[in-house]
Amino acid sequence: MAAIVWRVENAWSVWQNTRSKQMSVAVLVSGGVDSSVALHRTVSAFGPERVHAYYLKIWLEDDVSFLGSCPWEDDIACARAVCDGFGVALHTVSLQREYYERVVAYALDELRAGRTPSPDIFCNRRIKFGAFWDALGDSIDSIATGHYAQTRRAEGGVELLRAPDPVKDQTYFLSHLSQEQARVAFFPIGSMKKAEVRAEARRLELPNRDRPDSQGICFLGRLRYPDFVRAYLGEREGAIVERESGSRLGTHRGAWFYTIGQRQGLGLGNGPWYVVEKHMDENVVFVSHQRNDHDRMVSEYDVEHAHWILRPPKGADLDVKLRHGPDLVTSRVTLLPGDTARVELSRPDGGVAPGQFTVFYDGDVCLGGATIADIRRGEGV
């Protein structure tokens, strides 16, 4: 119980001028273990009378039901069973239209352009702490989720901190929160490791304690990613070409199905093969046996649409994440005019491509993120 009290006291430093007896907290539940344990900890801290549980219905089953079943019925049944056990009412909020307009449309535009979207980043900013918060209005003081992240009040504003579990840390996906959103965010399991969350779920005998974690993009549910892409973008046959020799190795059904660095699903023998380049106009996918050869390594690139939770100095040595996961790369980051910046990596990377996100860290503090624009290959290697 002491750990819960510490987190609540930490939250009070973020939620200014609000007394605990007046707090009203919305907890987003998904039917999974993480959000269920987060709900338990929120109820333990505030009492069930101050807690309201919400399930966000954002699945696209109405549009692509012909592709297979979506799990929202199972999810909401699990979520309701957990809420009933804690004496908390469960409300379902449908945000399918908002999700399509604010997240899915962006993902499809990026795929058409040959880039790699990260819709979960925009789901958090535009839906969970965006459209959902707008729908609640003044009735809620805070939004609690099962994310692995932490917040802390600092001199310059609210800091978003990495979780102690480096594999599960989700600050990458929260990197576009605004200061206002960070002020109302509450992450009850953010200081825990995944194994601890599972152990607490079993100790509490939650009905979903052994339910597997969800994987992949949030709006897909059980839908396969290629099926989703096919439903919205269709198919267009093109060539798979070995980059070094120019030899045609096979055919594909659309360059938008592939991402840079992809290894699976190419249907080629004599592997392994990696996707190293795409020409969208010609609908050509280039592959190579070498995932990180000299010509493909990136040591410097520019970013655009930079979003800062806390703005760094104009020139600073920061850590960056090039993708969700535990890996950080020390880099020199120079702010440029407007919302652009230049990133010089201390360790070149072969999986950098325009459209992907870079997330910036000062120690454990997530400062924000930006979209990769222009890249420079083979420099400094």
Residue 28's nearest CA partner among 172, 156, 186 is 186
Phi, psi of 61 (to 5 degrees): -65, -25
Taking the C-alpha atoms of residue 216 and residue 106, their distance in angstroms, rounded to an integer, is: 17
What the block records as the tokens of 318 is 């920061």
Phi, psi of 205 (to 5 degrees): 55, 45
Taking the C-alpha atoms of residue 146 and residue 192, their distance in angstroms, rounded to an integer, is: 11
- Residues tagged active-site: 123, 218
Taking the C-alpha atoms of residue 185 and residue 160, their distance in angstroms, rounded to an integer, is: 10
Distance of CA 70 to CAs 99, 121, 210, 216, 305, Å? Answer: 16, 22, 20, 14, 33
Q: Which residues contact residue 178 at a Cβ distance below 8 angstroms, ignoring those fewer than 6 apart?
A: 125, 309
What the block records as the tokens of 33 is 């273990």
Helix boundaries (H) for the chain: 2-14, 33-46, 61-64, 72-86, 96-99, 105-112, 119-122, 132-136, 179-184, 194-203, 225-233
370: left (phi over 0), alpha (psi -120 to 50) or beta: beta
| Single-letter amino acid, residue 236 | R
Determine contact, residues 360/379, Cβ cutoff 8 Å: no
In order, the DSSP letters of 47-98 are: -GGGEEEEEEE---HHHHGGG---THHHHHHHHHHHHHHHT--EEEEE-HHH
Cis check for the bond before 348: say yes or no (omega within 30 of 0).
no
Taking the C-alpha atoms of residue 149 and residue 151, their distance in angstroms, rounded to an integer, is: 7
Name the CA dihedral angle for 212, 215, 219, 225, rounded to a multiple of 10 degrees. Answer: -130
